[in-house]
Amino acid sequence: MATNDKSRHGYHDLRRQELLNLIPTSAKQILDCGCGTGELGKAIKKRQKCHITGIELNKEAFRLAEQNLDLAFCDNLNRHDPALHNQRYDCIIFGDILEHLISPWWVLIRFQKVLADGGTIVASIPNVAHSKVINQLQRGIFRYEAAGLLDITHLRFFTKTTIFQLFYKAGLKVVDCTPYPSDENPLQYLITATKPTLRHAKPLVSIIILSYNTWRFTKACINAIKERTTVPYKIIVVDNGSSDETVRNLRADTDIFHIENTCNHGFSRGLNIGLELVDTPYFVISNSDIVVSPGWLSTLKKHIDTDDNLMLIGPVSNYVSGPQQVETDGYTNDESMLKFARYRRECFDKPLVYHFRIVFFCALLKSIVLNKIGYLDENFEKSNFEDDDYCLRIHHAGLQAAFDPSVFVHHWGRATFKENKIDWNDEMKTNKDKFLKKYKITSYGPSTGIPKKPV
């Protein structure tokens, strides 16, 4: 993001103290992408012993960068191949440069490959969701400027959510995200990202967990998945603007990915933000208040693969509406829950139960369903009936859904509503009315039959 600096080289010769503060003092090999005249690199070298390489397109700025840095290239980042440097970098800097590129996603993917193990990427990215831009849009204005948020040379525009998506697609984990210059005036976000230490190099399943101020449940959910899942997987937590300790702990967990939304988008839109990132053959939709049992995912995957038309499969549970709910033996702790789950697994190895409605508290889907059916209907705000709608869309496409009686997953039930003091009944009624209107019906349930596809 260009500033209003009118000095000799404009923003090419800014020192960028806010970025300097993010550069690890332990970094020995540093690459500054879009280094300008090298003033930032010069300040880094003054502070610590290191070797700094810069890449700059502007020829005049590049000539000065050659004097300030150890090595400099005059090249276009859209085509520059950092692998030719034959160097691994402890820190790579993108100071207000990604938004100027044709494909910042592709550039980040290329450059993260030369990031050393344990290395960091530091970036500053303008926030197009700033109130200044929103106020103009409400008046029908999107006016480019010589400098600032709508710099005329910007090719890409990002919000906090899409910044996290950008880094995820490059295989990077955001460990710090700071609004700059302040929380009240987030003109841009300062990002620190690393390569996560994933448990599985080639995951088959993306487990997408939606969270909102439910850390004690989310923590238990993540821990159970890590302890009791053998199928290669990765976890993506989509946080809907939590104000508790959720964000701090998600950033600290470096073997999962997470997305930070600035507000509560509800179930459908929040999950869609995660579904847009699915790059594995299967994905799981999960509430934050479930506790899985051993063998849960391997069994569901084995059974969903028995039928090419079977797109969606769910477990049974203690707390779920419809036929997926089962009577338990009244377990009172994790140990007794696992005992009950083992009993189900050993004694209920029956054929799958095909059903037109599977509840999305926990569900495994084939990723091809996103091409066939699309994403969740975001007209269902907050929560409820988005899963009913998606299951009907699967059915109307001639595909199948089922649940597995042998797989038990504990569900606390409505934790997000309870923790945030949200009226569940009100949200249920609102979304039910939308559902009935969409399908042009007056009632819906197990005894009413399957509604026709809406015209």
Could you give the number of structural domains in the chain? 2
Instruction: Select from 169, 194, 219 the last residue of a domain.
Output: 194
Residues 189 and 295 in one domain: no
378 in any annotated domain: yes
**The pLDDT value given to residue 447:** 66
At 272, which CATH number? 3.90.550.10
Phi/psi at 454 (5° precision): -65, 140
3-state SS of 397-439 is: CCCEEEEEEEEECEECCCHHHHHCCCCHHHHHHHHHHHHHHHH
The domain in which residue 209 lies consists of 205-439
Residues 181 and 277 in one domain: no
Residues 190 and 210 in one domain: no
Residues 124 and 73 in one domain: yes
454 in any annotated domain: no
Residues 136 and 211 in one domain: no
Residues 89 and 210 in one domain: no
Residues 136 and 181 in one domain: yes
**The pLDDT value given to residue 12:** 60
Residues 356 and 337 in one domain: yes
**The pLDDT value given to residue 358:** 96
Tens-digit pLDDT profile for the chain (455 aa)?
A: 433 333 444 556 667 899 999 999 999 999 999 999 999 999 999 999 999 999 999 999 999 999 999 999 999 999 999 999 999 999 999 999 999 999 999 999 999 999 999 999 999 999 999 999 999 999 999 999 998 999 999 999 999 999 999 999 999 999 999 999 999 999 999 999 999 888 898 999 999 999 999 999 999 999 999 999 999 999 999 999 999 999 999 999 999 999 999 999 999 999 999 999 999 999 999 999 999 999 999 999 999 999 999 999 999 999 999 999 999 988 999 999 999 999 999 988 778 999 999 999 999 999 999 999 999 999 998 889 999 999 999 999 999 999 999 999 999 987 787 887 777 788 889 999 999 999 999 988 766 778 999 87
452 in any annotated domain: no
The model's pTM is 0.94
Residues 162 and 305 in one domain: no
Instruction: Select from 194, 213, 234 the last residue of a domain.
Output: 194
Residues 177 and 235 in one domain: no
Residues 322 and 376 in one domain: yes
Residues 333 and 396 in one domain: yes
